Amino acid sequence: MDKLAGALERVNSGIGNLLCWAALAMLLLQFAIVLLRYVFGYSYIFLDEGVLYFHAAIFMLGAGYTFLVNAHVRVDIFYARASDRLQARIDLFGHLFLLTPALLLLIWFSWPTVRGSWAILEGPISVGGIPASFLLKSLIPAYCVLLLIQGAAAFLRDLEKLKRTRA
């Protein structure tokens, strides 16, 4: 189980490392936009949308990595004081009955929109923008899949924790 969990975690770890560079690229693009606009008087809608695409990709694709490094928001009034065994049980319940069904529903309901967007290769959000709205919409199922992968890895880790604390 440990090897499988590690393999699943490597997916989000690799994506997280890649997204660090995407964040730098977004920062540099935003700097270029400001420089072009306020120093040279030029404005390009596709560059502005580029920042939006980077921002969306970083947040949507980075959710699995955030889960991996346990940096997501957690209301832990009771959880923090709970034993390792109880924490594992709470997490297992959350993975099985909250996270997984919610993500599967999100995939189910978003898929027709994503499929339709790809079918027509949906164009830009604004006139003169990036002609690839279908890519933005594809981030929704990608977000779900990456979180499901990390949820499966966390589930396996919590099963191991439960076995360890039993002994």
pLDDT tens digits along 123-147: 998 999 999 999 999 999 999 999 9
Angle at 162 (CA atoms; ends 161, 167), nearest 5 degrees: 100
In this structure, the dihedral spanned by the alpha carbons of residues 19, 24, 29 and 33, taken in order and rounded to 10 degrees, is 130
Per-residue pLDDT at 152: 97
The total domain count for the chain is: 1
Q: Model's pTM, two decimal places?
A: 0.92
**Domain range for residue 24?**
2-166
Per-residue pLDDT at 110: 98
Q: For 137-143, which contacts have Cβ atoms below 8 Å and span 24 or more sequence positions?
A: 137/110, 137/113, 138/114, 139/56, 139/57, 139/60, 139/61, 140/60, 140/106, 140/107, 140/110, 140/114, 141/107, 141/110, 141/111, 141/114, 142/60, 142/61, 143/60, 143/61, 143/63, 143/64
Reply yes or no on whether the pLDDT at 111 is more than 70: yes
Nearest CA to 62 among 26, 20, 10? 20
Reply yes or no on whether the pLDDT at 103 is more than 80: yes
Q: Is 82 helix (H, G, I), strand (E, B) or coil?
A: coil
Nearest CA to 61 among 33, 94, 21, 6? 21
Q: What is the pLDDT of residues 36-83, one digit of tens each?
A: 999 999 999 999 999 999 999 999 999 999 999 999 887 778 888 889
